[in-house]
Structure 1
Amino acid sequence: MADTHVDLPAAPGPSTRSAPGGGALRVRLGALRELVGLSRTRLDDDVLAEPCRVLDEAAARDRLPAVYTAVAIAGATGSGKSTLFNALAGAQLSEAGVRRPTTATAVSCTWEAGGGQVPDGLLERLGIPARARRRAHIMDHALRGTILLDLPDHDSVDTAHREQVDRLLSLVDAVIWVVDPEKYADAVLHERYLRAFAGHADVSLIVLNQADRLPGEAMDAVLDDLRRLLDERGVALGEHGEPGAGVLAVSALTGDGVAELRRQIGELVSARTAAARRLAADVDGVARRLGPVYVADGAEAPAGLTERAREDFDDRLAAALGAQAAGQAAERGWLRRADRACGTPWGQVVRRLAAHRAERRGEPPAMVAQRLRAPGPPVVAGAQVEQAVRQVAADAADGLPEPWARAVRDAARQGAKELPGALESALAEQPPGVLPRPRWWSAAGAGQAVLLAAQFLGICWLFTALVGQPVVGRWLPLALLLGGSVGGPLLAWGCRVAARGPARAFGQQEEWRLRRLAADRGHSHVLEPVAAELMRYREVRERYVVAASPTGDAEVSPSIPSCPHMTGRHGTL
C-alpha cells in the first residue's frame, strides 16, 4: 500500500494535494508507529487494531516493486465488471455470463513494467492463485505496470466471495467501482463501500457501465443523480480540475467510453503515486478515527498539571497534616515556655495548682500535659489526603481524552495508597525540633529570683518592724516589697512581649517544615507519576499531530515501519 525505496514523485496536475512525497509519507508512518508503541499500555487492542493493520500493510507494500500498481474492478452482481475487465484487457480473460455469481475468484491481468521487474510478489500478497493470473494481450504503453483485478461480486450470496472482496479492497492501490443503470443507487454499495471509501476518492473511479441501454438524456440524468449520491456520501468528485474520484459512463459491450477509461487508468498509474496516495488516505482515515482518543473535542492541548494545581495540592496536604495547627501549637508552646522561664514564681505556682485541680477533676493527662509541655507530633488525616489526591487528579485530567484522563487518575490513585503511610513515616523520622532556650530567658529568670528575694526581704523587714524591733529606715522594707511585687509582673510582661516575635518565627518554621515534608512526599508519590502520564500524553499528542498532518512535520524515517506489537489484520476499507 505504500510506495517503496525512493521518494515518490508528485502526481501531475491538481491531484498532488493528496499525493504526498515518499518522505512525508514515511514520516507520518513513523509517527503512527511511535504513537501505537506509546499507547499500547493505555489503549485497548481494538482501538489500535486499525493503525496496526495500516502499518503492517505499509511495511509489506514497501518491500514490493514500486513500478506496479494494483487496480481492482469492484461491482455488484450483473453490473458487467467482468465484461469491462475483458474489454480493458483486450481479450476474454475473465468469465462473464448470465450465471450469478459469475466471478468466484479474483482474476488478474498484468501489463508488464519492463526493466526486469516482475509482479509475482505483489500478486502473492494479493493472494491471486497462479491459475487466475493473466497477461495483457494488447500492450498499452499507458498501462505499463498495471495489475488489473476482476473481483468477485461484493453483494454475492456466498459469504466467502464478500470476504475476498473486503480483503482485496484493503490491499489494492486503486479501485474502479462499476455500477449499472438499475443498481447505481444500491444502498449496500453506497453505505458499506463508497461512504467508507470516501477518503480514498483520489485513487478511485466510478464507472456507469451499460450506458448503451440509456438514451442520451437519460444517461445524463443518471450520471447527475449518481454524482448527487456520491456527494451526499462525502465522496469528492474530480471535476473542474479538483482532486477526487472520476465519474464516467462506458459500455463494455459496444466499447463506448472504454478508451477514455483506459486513459484515466493510465494517468492514475503512470505517476506511480497511487500506492502512496492510497496509503496516505488510509493514514488520514486512521487519524480521523483516533482523533477523539488523542484530542478531546478538537481543543488545544489541555493545561495539565498547572502551578496553581500543584500549590493547591500542597496546601491540601499541609492541611491534612495539620501544618498550620502545628505551627500555631509550636508558637503557643514557645510562649508557654517563655512564661515558665520568665514569669513570676507566684504565677508558676498558680498554674501548677490549676493543673493539679484539673487532674483531680478527671481531665485526660494529655490535656494537662498540653498545658505544660510542647505539643506532640501531628496526626495524618487520611480522608483529607484522599480528597487532595482526587482533586489534583481531576485538575490534571481536565481536558484530556478519556483514556488518558483515566491513566492520570489511576496513577494518582495508585500513589494515594502509599501516601498516608509515607507521611506518617516521615513524621516519625523527622520529629519536631527541640524548643530553643534563649539566653535572655535565664537572665529574666535570675531577675525574677532577685525580685522574689526582694519581696521576701521586704516582708521580713516589715515583720521585724511590726514586732517592735528597731530597724533602719521604715520606708526601705516597704520599697523592697513594692518593688519586688510590681517588678516581677512587669518583667514577665516585658518578656512576654519580647517572646512574641521569636515564638511566631518558631511557629512558622514548624509549619513550613511540615509543609515541605508533605510536599516532598506528595510530589514523589502523586505528582511525579501524574506528571509522567501527562508527559506521555503530550508525546503521543505530538506524534498524533505528525501522523495526521498531510505533510508530516518531522524528520524523515529511513524506512516504512510495521506495527510494534500487533500483526496485520485485513478488513473492509
Structure 2
Amino acid sequence: MTETPTGDDGTLRVRLGALRELVGLSRTRLDGEVLAEAGRVLDEAAARERLPTTYTAVAIAGATGSGKSTLFNALAGAQLSEAGVRRPTTATAVSCTWDAGREQGPDGLLERLGIPARARRRAHVVDTTLRGLILLDLPDHDSVDTAHRDQVDRLLSLVDAVIWVVDPEKYADAVLHERYLRAFAGHAEVSLIVLNQADRLPGEAVEAVLDDLRRLLDERGLALGEHGEPGAGVLAVSALTGDGVAELRRQVGELVAARTAAGRRLAADVDGVARRLGPVYIADDADAPAGLTARAREEFEDGLAAAVGASAGGQAAERAWLRRADRACGTPWAQVARRLAAHQAERRGEPPALAAKRLRAAGPPVVARAAVDQAVRQVAADAADGLPRPWARAVRDAARRGGEGLPRALETALERNPAAPPPRPRWWSVAGVGQAVLLAAQFLGLCWLVTAFVGQPVVGRWLPLALLVGGSVGGPLLAWGCRAAARGPARAWGQQEEWRLRRLAADRGHTQVLEPVAAELMRYREVRERYVIAASADGGKDGGAGVSVPIR
C-alpha cells in the first residue's frame, strides 16, 4: 500500500475529487481545450498517487552557464553530472538518488520522470538528511536545442520541487522570470531560488544582488518564505568553493523529510487550474446569479397567456354568458326581434352572428408565435443574467430548443382542451317562466280591451288596462334585473376561463422551457459547488463562504 501525497486530513484528495467531478459535469458544456489542463493535473495526480512519498523528486533548473551541474555535483558529493565550458553541457537529465531505506525503491518515480537507466546515479556519500531525495540536473532552459527546452518543460511539470539556479550576471534574465518564475508563482512553497557563483561577488554586493533578486521575485508574484511565512527560500551559494552548500543541503533535507512536497506541488497545480478556470465558473459580477426568479416565471407566464389570448378568451366567455342570459331571461319580443334581424342578415347574404361564432369555434386555435418567441427569449435572458458566458449560452440554448416546439404544443393543448359551455343557472328558468306569465298578461289584457272596445260586456274597466301595462313594463324590467344579476356570474366565468387558458399555457411552457432551463441552472449550481471545493485551500470545509449561488 503506497502513501498518498494528499496532505493532512485528505484535503488534497477532496479537492482532486471535486475537480474530477467538475470536469465530468462540464465536458458537454465547455470546450475540451478549456478542461485540458485540469485533465492533465488529474492524470498527474493519479500517477503520483500510485508512487510512494518516501521519495521526493527535486529538479535543479537554470540557464546556460549558471553552474547548476556543478551545484548538482556539490550536493551529491561526487562528479556525477558533466560540467564545463562547452554549451550546452547538460544534454539530458541526470538523477542522483539517496536511498530511503524502504522496500519500494525509486524506480517507479524515475520511470514516470522518464530518466533513462544510463542517466541514473546513486549518491556515494551517505547523508541521512537527504534520505529519500531524487535530485535531477536538468538541461539548460535557454538551450539553443529545442529538444532540451521541451525536456525541461516536461520534467518541471512532473517533479515535486524545483531549485532555480541563477548567477550574478543573468539573475534578472527575462526568459527565466517571465516564462518560468512567474508561471511557478503559485509553487513558491516547493521552490528554492539559489544565487550561485557568489564567490565572484564581493561580500557587500552579494546582499545587494539578493535584495534585487527578491524584489524581482516579488514583482512576479512569487511569495518569499521570510519571517516564518510560507514561500520560496532565497540564498546565495558557491558550488565551486562550497560556501552556502551546507545551508542549501539543510533546506533540501527539510523539504524531503517532511514528505509533503508532492502534495504541496499538486495542491499548487490545483490552485493554478482553479485560478484559470475561475472566469468559466464564477462571473465577474459581485452579485450571484439569481436564476429563475418568481418575477421571471410570472413574466414568462404572462407572455404565454398573451400568446394564447387568455384575456380575450376570458372576455369572450363573459360576453357569451351574458348573451345566454339575455336569451334565457329576455322578453319574448326582444327574442323575436333578434331572430328577425338574423333572418334579414341571412337574406342579405351575411352569415348570422351565431353561425359565424360557430365557424370560428370550429377552426384551429391560433397562437401568436411572435409573442411566444419573445417570452422565451426574455425568460432565457433573465435566467442567464449573471452567469459565466459558457453557462449563459447553455441556458439560452436549452430555452431555444424548448421554445421551438412550444407554439405547436400550445395549439395542440388548446385543441384538446376546448372551452366548456357556460352552465345554465336555475334562476334562468324561473325568469323565463316569469317572462311567459308577463306575456300572457299582456295578451289577456289586450284581448280584454278589444272585447270591451267592440261593445261586449266585460267585468271591470281598469283591470284589462292594468294587465296590459303591467305585462308590457314588467317584461323589460325583469330582463334588466336578470342582466344586472348575471354580470357577477358572467365576470366570474370569464375569469375562470382566463385562468384556465393561463394554466394551460403555463403548464406547456413549464414542460417545454422552464424545466430544461432549471436543469441547466441546477447543473451550473453543482459545478460551481464543485469548483468552490476544488478552489478552496481547505477543500471547502468553510462551506465556500462568500461564493454561494442562490439559484432556484
Structures share a fold, TM > 0.5?
yes
**Who is 1:454 aligned against?**
441
Which one-letter code corresponds to 1:190 in the other structure?
A: H
- Match of residue 519 from structure 1: 506
Q: Which residue of 2 aligns with 1:566?
A: none
Task: Select the residue among 3, 6, 10 that pairs with 1:5.
Answer: 3
Deviations 1:83-125 (A, max 9, x none): 1111111111111111111111100000010022200000000
1:328-387 C-alpha deviation (Å, 9 max, x unpaired): 110110000000110011212333344445556665666873499989885211111111
Which residue pairs with 2:75 in the alignment?
Answer: 88
Match for residue 170 of structure 1? 157
**Matched ranges for 1:395-406 at <5 A:** 395-406=382-393
Q: Give the alignment of 1:485-496 within 5 angstroms.
A: 485-496=472-483
| 1:282 maps onto 2:280 in alignment | no
1:329 touches 1:507 (CA, 8 Å); kept in 2?
yes
1:292 lines up with 2:279 in the alignment: yes
CA distances 1:258-280 after superposition (whole Å, capped 9, x unpaired)? 11111111111110000000000
Task: Determine which of 134, 144, 156 is the counterpart of 2:121.
Answer: 134
Name stretches of at least 5 consecutive residues in structure 1 with no aligned partner. 9-19, 556-573
CA 1:178–1:7: 2 relative to 1, 3 Å: closer
User: 1:129 and 1:431, CA in 2 relative to 1: closer, same or farther beyond 3 A?
Assistant: same
Matched letter for residue 106 of structure 1: A
In the alignment, residue 401 of structure 2 is paired with which amino acid? Answer: Q
From 192, 195, 199, give the equivalent of 2:182: 195
**For 1:541, which of 528, 536, 551 is the aligned residue?**
528
What's the CA shift string for 1:124-176, capped at 9, x where partnerless?
A: 00000000000011111111000000001111111111111110000000000
Equivalences for residues 89-104 of structure 1 within 5 A: 89-104=76-91
2:59 maps to 1:61: no
Matches of 1:4 and 1:363, distance apart in 2: 94
Which residue of the other structure, out of 245, 254, 261, is the alignment partner of 1:267? 254
- C-alpha change, 1:372 and 1:298, in structure 2 (3 Å) is closer
Percent of aligned positions that are identical: 85
> Which of 510, 528, 541 pairs up with 2:497?
510
**8 A Cα contact 1:326 1:378, kept in partner:** no
Q: Which structure would you say has the larger RCO, counting Cα contacts within 8 Å and 6 or more residues apart?
A: 1
2: CA distance, partners of 1:117 / 1:348: 106
Deviations 1:189-209 (A, max 9, x none): 100100000000000000111
Q: Find the partner of 1:116 among 103, 106, 110.
A: 103
Question: 1:69–1:272: 8 Å Cα contact kept in structure 2?
Answer: yes
- Residues 27 and 554, structure 1, Cα contact 8 Å, conserved in 2: no
In 2, the alpha carbon distance for the partners of 1:435 and 1:361 equals 31
Moved over 6 A (4+): 371-377
Which residue number in structure 2 is paired with residue 30 of structure 1? 17
1:225 to 212, 217, 221: 212
- Which among 520, 537, 540 is matched to residue 550 of structure 1? 537
What is the rounded CA distance, in whole Å, between the counterparts of 2:433 and 2:363 in structure 1? Answer: 30
The equivalent position to 1:471 in structure 2, one of 458, 466, 469, is 458
Aligned to 2:546: none
Counterpart of 2:400 in structure 1 is: 413
Q: AA paired with 1:147?
A: I
Mapped partners of 2:134, 2:449: distance in 1:
131
Among 350, 374, 378, the residue aligned to 1:391: 378
Q: 2:322 aligns with which of 335, 359, 371?
A: 335
Which of the residues 277, 295, 304 maps onto 1:317? Answer: 304
Q: Which residue of 2 aligns with 1:570?
A: none
- Counterpart of 2:334 in 1: which secondary structure? helix
SS at match of 2:135: strand
State how far apart, in whole Å, the 2-side matches of 1:268 and 1:253 are: 24
1:412-450 deviation line (CA, Å, top 9, x unaligned): 111101111111111111111122111221221122122
Aligned with 1:433 (options 420, 425, 429): 420
After superposing the two structures, state which structure 1 stretch, 343-352 or 525-534, moved more: 343-352
CA distance in 1, matches of 2:374, 2:447: 67
SS at match of 1:247: strand
- The letter of the residue matching 1:5 is E
SS of residue matched to 1:434: coil
Deviations 1:443-488 (A, max 9, x none): 2112212212222222222223333333322322211110111010
Deviates more, 1:436-445 or 1:285-294: 436-445
For 2:84 and 2:346, locate their aligned partners in 1 and report how far apart those are by CA, in whole Å: 111
The correspondence for 2:242, drawn from 242, 255, 260, is 255
- Contact 1:112–1:144, Cα closer than 8 Å, also in 2: yes
Residue 237 in structure 1 maps to residue 224 in structure 2: yes
Larger CA deviation: 412-421 vs 441-450: 441-450
TM-score using structure 2 length: 0.94
Distance 2:87 2:5 in 1: 44
Question: Taking structure 1 as reference, are residues 294 and 373 closer, same or farther at Cα in structure 2, changes over 3 Å only?
Answer: closer
Partner of 1:565: none
Distance 2:342 2:202 in 1: 115
Q: 1:7 to 1:215 in 2, by over 3 A?
A: closer
Moved more, 361-370 or 205-214: 361-370
Match of 2:133 in 1: 146
**Residue type matched to 1:243 in 2?**
P
Query: Residue 329 of structure 1 contacts residue 375 of structure 1 at CA under 8 Å; is this kept in 2?
Result: no
* Paired letter, 2:141: H
Within 2, Cα distance between the matches of 1:267 and 1:122?
20
Summarize the Cα distance change of 1:363–1:172 in structure 2 as closer, same or farther, 3 Å threshold. farther
User: Residue 307 of structure 1: CA displacement?
Assistant: 1.7
Paired residues of 1:70 and 1:148 also in contact (CA < 8 A): yes
CA 1:496–1:225 in 2, change beyond 3 Å: closer, same or farther?
same
Q: How many corresponding residue pairs?
A: 542
**Residue type of the partner of 2:196?**
N
Q: Which moved more, 1:425-434 or 1:294-303?
A: 294-303
Taking the aligned partners of 1:99 and 1:68, their CA distance within structure 2 comes to 32
Offset, 1:60: 0.2
Give the Å deviation of 1:40. Answer: 0.6
Q: Distance in 2 between matches of 1:361 and 1:429?
A: 36
Tell me, yes or no, if structure 1 residue 303 matches structure 2 residue 301. no
Structure-2 separation of matches of 1:120 and 1:74: 22
1:218/1:358 Cα in 2 relative to 1: closer, same or farther (>3 Å)? farther
**Whole-angstrom CA distance in 2 between matches of 1:251 and 1:333:** 102
Q: Which amino acid aligns with 2:142?
A: D
